[in-house]
Structure 1
């Protein structure tokens, strides 16, 4: 069997907040970091003196390919508008002169681009953004804004383009060495899902908020299936269909966002994907291992049976389609090679539930765990529609990413354990129902094999396999078995418990082996298996059970889910920072990377009275050492009195509102009701098209505001 054939939304988040940041300037150690400063002469933009030509020259010189642009001293607004080179750009102009702001706004509105391009007045010294948010700052004159302030708001690898002495200077903010990426499903091809990120921590500030605000259903497939990040970008596979009706077909897409401000850079619609009626707890984990981001390339399968495809990470342009990789169920990337599992996917559900149990006197209602949904008529709709094969057969192949050359392929693999393929250095390990096999990743030749019957569950709760420096750590049902990487000899065993409806936690972090799942986080000595610390998390509610995803870990925190949210529990000492309101999506969870905690929109209905909606990125408070520590906030008066301020004699509105709807849900009580009479016979009176999604409308003084 193992013979190889040798042959790869942001709105301006925190715009009106003070001192909210991912990491303070001191954390980034500017004094120890050499900024890349390059000078261009004024002639660089003189070739075309028009605003469009100048903008094109600026973007070409800076190399920024999308994101948030800030233009200081926006003048008449023409250059500000021209800096928006496409849909991947959001441009914000700033000026201290209210007359200039008004003139720029009028010019931008005249071009029909106000919204994606906007202008505001500022105080001339402090930029109204959180730390690490902006991709490009353009200024012919910084005025009273210190360069340190520009560097504060720039995202890692962001660019400041500032004219000084008649010449443009380009300054690139370096990426801190103490933040990490998350390039693939389990972080790396070795399946050791550990964030080597010293900045990510208990969420105390919002970095950005993006759509979708809501998942489509509690019981159907998650709206966001996969999340990975590399090169300052965040990539997801997500359902962009309307959330109002969960029965409508999905509209899945590969979506690229800026990792530091959440702006959508591009979307690639998928040809097809798992039907949305798949029961949420039966989602195949192999679906989550179909996106890998490495540098300026993102690899994905743009359809259920589509071949692996390489996209330009900045633009979404297809670079290469890999022949012979159709029906890839999962893949990983290591050292320039794609390792693919091709063929049938591991059975991931008690499939076709309604047909299986029909006429057998089995109740699918009430508390029966086999019931996808309580209520007649819903069960059939939510029963899984993609039928997996009980005896799945697949192949494993290695393909050179740069050339598309197939290096080797092993066929006719039975009972492969989903997502168990792990690659590190000179070893690749695969688990099946018949044992564990170690391969040479360059040739596919077998190095050693452990033959034994292994309980592997199904494709939703399959075993976890992790490669270390000299050992294989393999979940085998409820037992953790550790084998020597050199020859497969067994070294030690320990108990292990799966997560709720998902594979077990298994991490190599902070010099130890950590397991968790529905039990308490427990450490073991990597060499001997001797049991170490057991972290007893005290707060375990309001959620009635752990979340249905694998938990996460850094070298400082076990990011548990016993409250229902992202609970940061310190590995050293066990201090806990529970956050039941910071929810990740079902099946997927949260993601610690880039010094931030990403939380895709929540799917579940459990404890929905205490959560934050939307797709969010949270930043920690630097230096926070205990759960009760206060977060310092610098307060300042922000009221700007316009020329008509003193003329307001009675600030209580004289506008009658019996038939108005002046605020969201009508009034401050959020009653959502009005005394106005509305005819039951409705007909269109007028309509206005929108280029973007409008906000909830409000009505006052005969006008509709959105």
Structure 2
């Protein structure tokens, strides 16, 4: 065994086998994913799972140990918060950086390489390893290449460019929490406020109204308004605090810095300071209570900026600066005015803000920043610069005030200069205003001298808008200002020369998503990754809500829910990895034949499954495209009840009653063929069970490889199986995957029910669309592809149909892989 000591810092040495208390000492957090390699003690696993925040997974050496541990976990009432699978090694069945705590007895399990242990543990996570009788606690360091995203627009300077150097084009799903049916669209949570995410180290903050899920097929739970904190590596819950609707969902009103969270929790109250690790309220920012009649935040005009040195708040007629502990340092006031779009430039130690005259525009909206998708002030009086440390007025300029800059050719109404973003760029300050759907902006750009406020460039209405041309948001990188608009248009502004150049144009409507960037990529559309030559792939698998963006941080791309039916997107709170999926396993290792002993388990649900805990709250709603509520069906005189969240199938028929427990959630759709029940599971496997006894006769891996992620608070394969269908002639068909553009696509197998052997396999896969440099050339963009669902068989054709924007695809078993590849490489006809 190669030593771990040179690679990791050993914090302590334990003298005996670890108890659950010793594990808690090694990993003080009450939440996270805990894995034990070589699990053998059900009581140990059960104790780790108590408390409702940890997800515990044991890897057992053989089927007998797995059966014994599953029975123990059921009896302890903790299944499936604690679950077990049989593992043959040496590779671990987890995605990269997924696990928080990995426990391994090296004396008993010497074969797994050290690199494999490091691969699966998240930065900041722990390996608890025994070697030669001693236990060492080893912490995985956080690479310098990972970045945070602490504000809605990235940093305190309002520039949506992150520092992460590992983020790149999406290849694989890391975790997903979708508490609603993808097909509900407009009846689900509104898209505009759902992607307000912050990522700081281990912590992923979600500011959203979360769908409450289902009690049963007809009864829904009310939505929850809360500030939710998840583990960025796996989406598991860390803490949650309630918020009042009047202060929730305001995009610029939430900031993170120095291990603290700054935001509002209650109407009429000052902004709170929360501990990032626990969610505990540890202070407040005095004098920041909203001044509106109901004490609510006024649209999007409230801004919080935070760094390790201080906190700056702009709301109403006041801009304030506080120490990190909430001590007031200074306050700047302009009675009768609104102070909008506050940014803090760390390079020059200045605060910039827009002074607006309150009022209403000709549509009845506030003339200062309001809650449109692209807020802008149509009543700019001045742009002001303050000293960040003292609040001293440095300059005030009227050179970017809202004056008439043109006339609308259609309405004959004047076009006013507006401001929606302030962007410091070296010795320049760019005043940018987008123009798009639900925006009060005019598309104007003004450049000021950052030291004096004097006008440098007045670019007027920089882009003449129409249906195909608009301006969304801007970012600063490499000394230039980049801004995007509908139909994949990107412009570059040189703030020194005052020159605007359209550098990218592609005739496909990428909808209303904000552009963000990293040092290596411009990230726009849904979702394009453009390198320094403006070439790169577009992976049409996810997007956040309207006028929101994906978040590049922690080596991943994060998204929130949306209400858009324009593309075959996955929906929910999502994290994607740029790392490719593992290589497919050898086909000879896919099938496991079993002795067929039925496992006797308690007839009732475990206490954990029936209780409401932070973990079980994630088990409601949908997983990708499958409802995870219980479902019942009758086939061949047998009544089958599938309880997905319990990993359990219950059957009652002529020969009596039995139950079967899998290693993950079960799919609803099953088939009865020749005395066997065949059912799929979310761990990528299909099980063949004896119809009379429920004994497992065989188990087959349909997923391309072993790679577990977290879906709605439980472990699942990157390639879950949502169901099987009777293909005739003693065959069943199963499909494993999530999306045709993720993880190599959706793998489909025809399986002989009697033996578990595959007769044929196909892959439903679409490569990402690719742009050439500057958007030239490339491959066709296909907005409708396919999201996996339980297959059906009609007239001999296999159909995977999520419906509506989820896509539908039908094919005959006789179609070759080459024929299927051709069909996925061209735009579909009527969604097929």
Q: Which stretch shifts more, 262-271 or 333-342?
A: 333-342
Q: Give the counterpart of 2:447 among 474, 479, 482.
A: 482
- The corresponding residue for 2:57 is 92
- The corresponding residue for 2:798 is none
Q: 1:145-544 counterparts in 2 under 5 A?
A: 145-214=112-181, 218=186, 221-222=190-191, 224=194, 226-242=196-212, 250-273=223-246, 287-327=250-290, 329-343=302-316, 394-402=317-325, 404-416=326-338, 418-425=340-347, 426-432=349-355, 433-452=380-399, 454-455=401-402, 463-476=420-433, 477-494=442-459, 496=462, 504-518=472-486, 520-531=489-500, 534-538=503-507, 540-541=508-509
CA displacement 1:652-704 (0-9 Å, x = unmatched) = xxx84478678899xxxxxxxxxxxxxxxxxxxxxxxxxxxx98867998999
- The corresponding residue for 1:675 is none
Against the structure 1 CA distance between its residues 532 and 302, is the aligned structure 2 distance closer, same or farther, given a 3 Å change threshold? same
SS in 2 for 1:181: coil
d(CA) in 1 for partners of 2:444, 2:522:
21
- The corresponding residue for 2:585 is 635
Q: Give the counterpart of 2:542 among 567, 582, 605.
A: 582
1:611 deviates by 2.0
1:133 deviates by 0.8
Contact 1:310 1:321 (C-alpha < 8 Å) held by counterparts = yes
Contact 1:80 1:117 (C-alpha < 8 Å) held by counterparts = yes
d(CA) in 1 for partners of 2:258, 2:575:
21
Against the structure 1 CA distance between its residues 293 and 696, is the aligned structure 2 distance closer, same or farther, given a 3 Å change threshold? farther
Against the structure 1 CA distance between its residues 517 and 462, is the aligned structure 2 distance closer, same or farther, given a 3 Å change threshold? farther
Q: 1:111-130 counterparts in 2 under 5 A?
A: 111-130=76-95
d(CA) in 1 for partners of 2:219, 2:261:
29
Contact 1:662 1:698 (C-alpha < 8 Å) held by counterparts = no
Q: Which stretch shifts more, 142-151 or 129-138?
A: 142-151
SS in 1 for 2:22: helix
Q: Give the counterpart of 1:617 among 563, 575, 582.
A: 575
1:530 deviates by 3.7
Q: Which stretch shifts more, 313-322 or 185-194?
A: 313-322
d(CA) in 1 for partners of 2:100, 2:518:
27
1:228 deviates by 0.6
Q: Does 1:37 align with 2:9?
A: yes
CA displacement 1:103-141 (0-9 Å, x = unmatched) = 222221111001111111111311100111111101233
d(CA) in 1 for partners of 2:213, 2:458:
46
Q: 1:11-50 counterparts in 2 under 5 A?
A: 35-38=7-10, 40-43=12-15
Normalised to the residue count of structure 2, the TM-score between the two structures is 0.60
CA displacement 1:368-395 (0-9 Å, x = unmatched) = xxxxxxxxxxxxxxxxxxxxxxxxxx21
d(CA) in 1 for partners of 2:276, 2:45:
26
Normalised to the residue count of structure 1, the TM-score between the two structures is 0.70
Question: Please, which runs of 5 or more residues in structure 2 have no aligned partner?
Answer: 291-296, 356-379, 404-413, 434-441, 598-633, 645-664, 671-676, 678-690, 695-721, 724-832
Task: Return the structure number with greater relative CO, CA threshold 8 A, min gap 6.
Answer: 1
Q: Does 1:644 align with 2:572?
A: no
Q: Which stretch shifts more, 420-429 or 90-99?
A: 420-429
1:63 deviates by 4.0
SS in 1 for 2:498: coil
1:499 deviates by 12
Q: Give the counterpart of 1:607 among 556, 566, 585.
A: 566
Contact 1:195 1:592 (C-alpha < 8 Å) held by counterparts = yes
SS in 1 for 2:576: strand
1:581 deviates by 3.3
d(CA) in 2 for partners of 1:450, 1:465:
13
Q: Give the counterpart of 2:67 among 102, 117, 142.
A: 102
d(CA) in 2 for partners of 1:81, 1:420:
50
- The corresponding residue for 1:76 is 41
Against the structure 1 CA distance between its residues 419 and 246, is the aligned structure 2 distance closer, same or farther, given a 3 Å change threshold? farther
1:92 deviates by 0.6
Against the structure 1 CA distance between its residues 250 and 330, is the aligned structure 2 distance closer, same or farther, given a 3 Å change threshold? farther
Q: Which stretch shifts more, 248-257 or 197-206?
A: 248-257
Q: Which stretch shifts more, 243-252 or 438-447?
A: 243-252
Against the structure 1 CA distance between its residues 39 and 614, is the aligned structure 2 distance closer, same or farther, given a 3 Å change threshold? closer
Question: Please, which runs of 5 or more residues in structure 1 have no aligned partner?
Answer: 1-29, 276-285, 344-393, 623-630, 646-654, 666-693
SS in 2 for 1:410: strand
Q: Does 1:144 align with 2:107?
A: no
CA displacement 1:49-73 (0-9 Å, x = unmatched) = xx8xx21222213444521111112
Against the structure 1 CA distance between its residues 248 and 137, is the aligned structure 2 distance closer, same or farther, given a 3 Å change threshold? closer
1:144 deviates by 1.4
SS in 2 for 1:302: coil
Q: Give the counterpart of 1:567 among 514, 522, 528.
A: 528
Contact 1:449 1:488 (C-alpha < 8 Å) held by counterparts = yes
SS in 2 for 1:325: coil
User: What's the C-alpha RMSD, in Å, of the aligned pairs?
Assistant: 4.0
Contact 2:212 2:222 (C-alpha < 8 Å) held by counterparts = no
SS in 2 for 1:83: helix
Contact 1:231 1:296 (C-alpha < 8 Å) held by counterparts = no
d(CA) in 2 for partners of 1:152, 1:452:
55
d(CA) in 1 for partners of 2:211, 2:228:
13
SS in 1 for 2:593: coil
Contact 1:305 1:326 (C-alpha < 8 Å) held by counterparts = yes
- The corresponding residue for 1:11 is none
d(CA) in 2 for partners of 1:632, 1:135:
20
1:213 deviates by 3.9
Against the structure 1 CA distance between its residues 92 and 427, is the aligned structure 2 distance closer, same or farther, given a 3 Å change threshold? same
1:463 deviates by 0.7
